[in-house]
Structures are given as C-alpha cells and as structure tokens.
Amino acid sequence: MSKDLPREPKSKVQLDADQIDRALAVMCLIAALVLAVALFVIVSGIASQRPLDAQRIVHDYSKDPKLGSVPELPVTDAFGRAIPPPPPAGRLLVAAGSCSECNPRSVRPSQIVGGDFSDVVFLVEVARPEEVPRGFAKLGNVYIVADVGRRYTNALNATWTPRFYLLGGRGQLVEIQIDPLIHPTWVRLSQNRDRTGDVR
C-alpha cells in the first residue's frame, strides 16, 4: 500500500490570493448592503414628498362629474349670504378639505389671486357650520360653504383636497383638475399662506 503523500504547504502567494478573494467577497457584500440602504432612503424620501401618488392610483376618474353637468350647491354660504348665480366670466369651485394648516398642499381663500373666473365658492369640510372661521365672511367675492358630512365634496368625487373645478356662466362644469400634484393653469395661487385677510 502506498503511503499518503504529505500535502505541500500553501505558498505565500496562494495564501495572499485566498485572503484577497475573501476580502473582495466581504467588500462586495458591504457595497451591496450600502446600496440597498441608499435606495431605501431615496425611495422613502420620494414617497414622503409625494404622498398623493397613492391617491392618484386609487382615484376613480369614471366617478368624476361630467363636463357640462351642473354641480349641486347651496343657495347661501356659511354666513347666510346668498350665493348668486355664476357670473358670465365663470366661477372657481374649490373642494378645500377640512384642515388648512396640517396639509402642506392645502390652499387658503386669500391665496387665490386670479384666474379664468370672477368669484369663488370654497367648500370647507366641518362637523358643524359654526366651525368655519368668522374671518372668512370678510372675503367679498369668495363664498364659504360649510360642507358638513362631505355632501358636496363627495358629489364632486374630490378624493384629494384641494381639488379645483371651473364653472361656466350657467353653473356648468367646464374644467376639472386632473392631477392632484399640479394646480390647473386656469387658477393663479399666491405662495403666501399668511392668515391675514381671511381669518381675522
């Protein structure tokens, strides 16, 4: 029987090559983990900046009111002022939501500085009409509607707020905001969210 030949010890060059291979494998693993963490941070940042993307996906556009239809609106605003028929130049209808301070995309009545319309009807979601700030009554051509129970907001299919609608001289819908992240070109908004003029 032949005796097992003793194994020759690995040369220094072989040991160095093995160490290099192991080091490269560890570095590749660390790089992969760093890349995964970086991608997670980037995706999380984008998601936090664009929270309405999910609403865009679940919004059912087939439930939007049809262009040419006349949305139901009350005859008086939250302060008992009569809401007149839409002027010939058009009317802006805003489904404003319920909290003007907690939503970074919200809009205040005083921010509407112009557009393809002569007056504004602002739907504010409240539990009781008394919750509408009294200062809103000072806005001349802006009519604030206390939308208790989202009656009018739901009828407009406003799954995001604010959502903008443009009415013609007969009260018919002529334009509807399509993208929750983009304000329509037919309404001009000021970036100043100061309360001056609409809550005092």
Please state the pTM of the whole predicted model.
0.67
- Lowest mean pLDDT of 40-44, 49-53, 123-127, name the range: 49-53
Beta bridge partners of 93: 121, 165
Q: Cα(194)–Cα(129) distance, rounded to whole angstroms?
A: 23
Rounded CA separation 162/77 (Å):
19
pLDDT score recorded for residue 103: 53
Alpha-carbon distance 59 to 160, whole Å? Answer: 9
What would the CATH number be for the domain defined by 61-189?
Answer: 3.40.30.10
pLDDT recorded at residue 49 = 46
What value does the mean pLDDT of the chain take?
Answer: 79
Of 10 and 27, the one with more pLDDT: 27
Higher pLDDT, 131 or 167: 167
Q: Which two tokens stand for residue 175?
A: 């334009």
pLDDT at 196 over 50: no
161-178: average pLDDT: 95
Look at residue 186 and tell me whether its pLDDT is greater than 70: yes
Confidence of residue 30 (pLDDT cuts 50, 70, 90): confident
